[in-house]
Each structure stands twice: as structure tokens, then as C-alpha cells.
Amino acid sequence: MAQPAVIKNQDLEVTVQDLTYEGMGVAKVAGFPLFIEDALPGEKMQVHVLKVQKQYGFAKVVKRLTDSPDRVAGADGAYIRTGIAPLSILAYPAQLKFKQHQIEELYKKAHLAIDVLSTIGMKHPLGYRNKAQVPVRMVNGELQTGFYKKHSHDLVPIEDFLIQDPKIDHAIVVVRDLLRKYKVPAYDERTNRGVVRNIMVRRGRATHQMMIVLVSRTWQLPHLKDIVEEMTLALPEVTSVVVNLNDKRTNVILGRKSKTIYGQDYLLDKLLGSEFQISPVSFYQVNPVQTEVLYTQAIEAAGLTGKETVIDAYSGIGTISLTMARHAKHVYGVEVVESAVRDAQANAARNHIKNVTFEVGKAEDVIQKWKDADLPVDVLMVDPPRKGLDKSFIDAVGYMKPPKYRLRFLQSGNIGAGFAIVAAGFGYTPKQTQPVDMFPQTQHIESITAMTLN
């Protein structure tokens, strides 16, 4: 039997050749790939092999012998260990090229010849996130907030999250200290006991309104009145405090029931001239600066002239629907989350936008119903969930065949076979893809592709 190229616990000297889509370095030993954290292309290093599988292995850096010119000096390893910001070691211009290259590689694997433009980046690619969800756990006998090490439930205490709005980071520390002061028990997932599981904070970039959500195993939070009083005194931007009940043994962060215990039931923020109310569980893009860039690019790609009928699948609270309504004849939004549709309808009224219609339901079911009702559709806008598009939705698109354009956002490199089926199988021609960096310092990619029916 041939000796394997690499064995567990082996020490090697390697040169990193590439980055994976997750941002890990790739080195090859006799053609056998090793995946290495905190490693950039061109770097020589001594590594220790941690795990070997049939076709690849994992190793850790023992000593870096050379540094890439794109390496960011002094980058905090906690952001890599937890997966908060795995590309924080890579200079930002190189991050943008990496994301463009990842989409090009995905197209190549799918045998799609689509031009990928340079990634549109941010002027200030730090502190951009308007939402945080951080776990609360006991670490060495003290209540802590932070983030889990990758592939584990070991909490790493963190106060500066690098990519979150610094005001949100500060709010988390304030809440953490109040939970400590009033000795509120942190949740223990091993025993399913304790109280506070997570702290969620949202902050409106334009409005500076702040919502704090305490995710709890029980409605009975000790000293809740005192905690809210001190919290709102220390954080004058807070306009909403919510308790969310999650009493299940689950990795899902939010439960289905919430109670507003201070202020209003929603947060207000503004995008591209429209004001939006955002409920605790509603989806809202986490990077408002780049969201405006993304939506502007989408409207341009769709070629709207004010005469088109548009369907916005997965419409959420109506951010893209209401933005496009200012440039279209009528927009129809469909969303499976009922509370999000209520928000969307309220947002339409709030902004005095009347040429929109929102409906609750699965996108694939509702757009087939609209097709059967002979709704004349010119543009279909799709911003899919991160898992990608279900085949049932793709089939529904093929059934409807909007004659002018089909537009899709791609998240996290999530292109897959579905894109190829729609583009090639139903007679659509994709022109080009425009990546927009919605998530600097991370490996996630979001982009816009317009497709025209032949």
C-alpha cells in the first residue's frame, strides 16, 4: 500500500498557494491539499497536521517564515478563531479581488460564461454592522458575552467585534455589566437552565434609534425593571427593549414569542429616502451603506423606466420593493413571514407609496397564482435566502417567464445549479455580474446579475 502524502501530527514546511471560499489558506504536499487558518497565498510556514481525510487535510501554523505583502499587521487572531472576520488578516483591496475571483470560479465550475466586474467596496470597511446577536454564557465563573470558537460552543469573550457599529459594541458591554450586577443567571445549554441566552442589538444608522432584545429561556427575568431603567439611562439612544422567549433546546437564536417591555415595538431607519420600521425578528440588511449601493445597482441593472410591473420575491419588510416602486409602475412583493409582510405594508403607508402590493405565502406558490391570473410581469427581483433557491421556485420562474428581465442577488457565493437551470434551461441570457461587498472582513459575497429572456 502506498504511503499517504500527509499523516496526522506531521510537521511540514509549506508554501500557501491559494485561499478557499471560506478564506483558509491552501498548501499542497505532493498534490494533497492542506487547509490552514491564518495563512495567505505566497507565505512560507511551518505547520502541524491536525487532521487527515481521504482527499484533504487540516493543519495549523507553527511559525510563519515569510509574510504576504497583503497581510494586515497586528490583526487579532480572535476574529479568525471565531469566524467573525476571517479575512481581517487580508488587506482590503485584496479582499475585493478575492471576492471577484470566487464568483468567477463558481461560474467556471457551473460552465457559465459571465463577465464578473470588480467588486464595489467600502470607503470605511469596519464598524458597519447595524445588528449584533451575541451569546451570554458563564466563563470561569463570570457572565460573559462574546462569540463561539468555530465548530464549537466554547465562548471567546469579546468586547470589540471589529465589524459592528461601535455604539452596538458599547451597548452589549453595558447590558452585560447590568446582568452581572443583578446576578441574572446566564443560560447553560448543557443543562437547559439559566435565564439569558443572547443579547441582540439593532441600531438605525440614519435615525440612531437602538433596539435591545434579551433572548431568555423564561419570561421571569430577575430585576428586569431595574435593569431596563439603568440600561435606558446609560444608553439614551434606546427606543425599544424587548424580551424574546426561547425555551427550547436549540441552536436557533430567536424564539417565536416576544414582549416589548420599553418603548415601541419596532426600530426606525432610513434607506434611499424611505423610512422603515423593523420588528425584532424581521430581516433587514446589516450593512446600510452598501445596501444603498446594492439597491441602486439593482435598479440600474433592471433598466426600470417607470412603466414596468415588478415582482419582488422574498420581499421581507419591503426595503427593495419600496425602493423599486419609486422607479416602476407597480411592485408586487411576496414573503412567507407574516410579521415581515405587516411591516412592509406599514412601511408603504409610512412612506405614502401606493403602487405596491404585498402578499403572505411561499414565493413559488404565489408567483404561479399571479401567472395564472395573467399578471403582466416585466421584471422579477429575487433576493434569496442564504441556502439558495429551491427547485420549486426555479420551476415557478420557468412557468412564469417574465419577458424582460430576471434579476437575482447572490449571497455567499450561493450560485449553484439553480442559477444554471434558470439561465440556460429557460432561455435567459445573463449579461454580467456586479459584486458588492456587503460584508467586509468576511468571506461572504453578494452580487447582482441581470438576465434577459431570449
- Tell me, what's the pLDDT at 51? 95
pLDDT for 181-198, tens place per residue?
Answer: 999 999 999 999 999 999
Band (pLDDT 50/70/90 cuts) for residue 60 is very high
Q: Where are the domains of the chain?
A: 11-69, 97-123+287-453, 131-271
Strands 309-313, 274-278: pairing kind: unpaired
CA 180/CA 190 separation, integer angstroms: 21
Average pLDDT, the chain: 90
Mean pLDDT of 23-44: 96
Q: Considering only the top CATH level, what class is 97-123+287-453? A: alpha beta
2.40.30.10, 2.40.50.1070, 1.10.10.60, 3.40.50.720: CATH of 131-271: 2.40.50.1070
Mean pLDDT of 2-31: 91
Grouping H, G, I as helix, E, B as strand and the rest as coil, residue 356 is strand
* Low-confidence winner among 14-23, 302-311, 401-410 (lowest mean pLDDT): 401-410
pLDDT for 108-127, tens place per residue?
Answer: 887 788 899 999 999 999 99
Q: Would the CATH topology of 11-69 be identical to that of 131-271?
A: yes
Whether residue 402 has pLDDT greater than 80: no
Cut 0.85: pTM above it: yes
The strand ranges marked E within 229-303 are 238-245, 257-263, 267-271, 274-278
Q: Report CA-CA distances (Å) from 177 to 130, 174, 241.
A: 21, 5, 16
Mean pLDDT of 3-19: 91
Band (pLDDT 50/70/90 cuts) for residue 393 is confident
Whether residue 364 has pLDDT greater than 70: yes
Q: Which residues contact 271 (CB under 8 A, 6 or more apart)?
A: 206, 288, 291, 292, 295, 319, 323
Please provide the CATH number assigned to the domain covering 11-69: 2.40.50.140
Residue type, 216: S
Band (pLDDT 50/70/90 cuts) for residue 425 is low
Nearest C-alpha neighbor of 274 from the set 383, 347, 356: 347
Q: Which residues contact 238 (CB under 8 A, 6 or more apart)?
A: 171, 210, 211, 212, 231, 232, 262, 263
pLDDT for 70-86, tens place per residue?
Answer: 999 988 989 999 999 99
Contact between 367 and 333 under an 8 Å Cβ cutoff? The reply is: no
Residue type, 10: Q
CA 117/CA 98 separation, integer angstroms: 12
Band (pLDDT 50/70/90 cuts) for residue 452 is confident
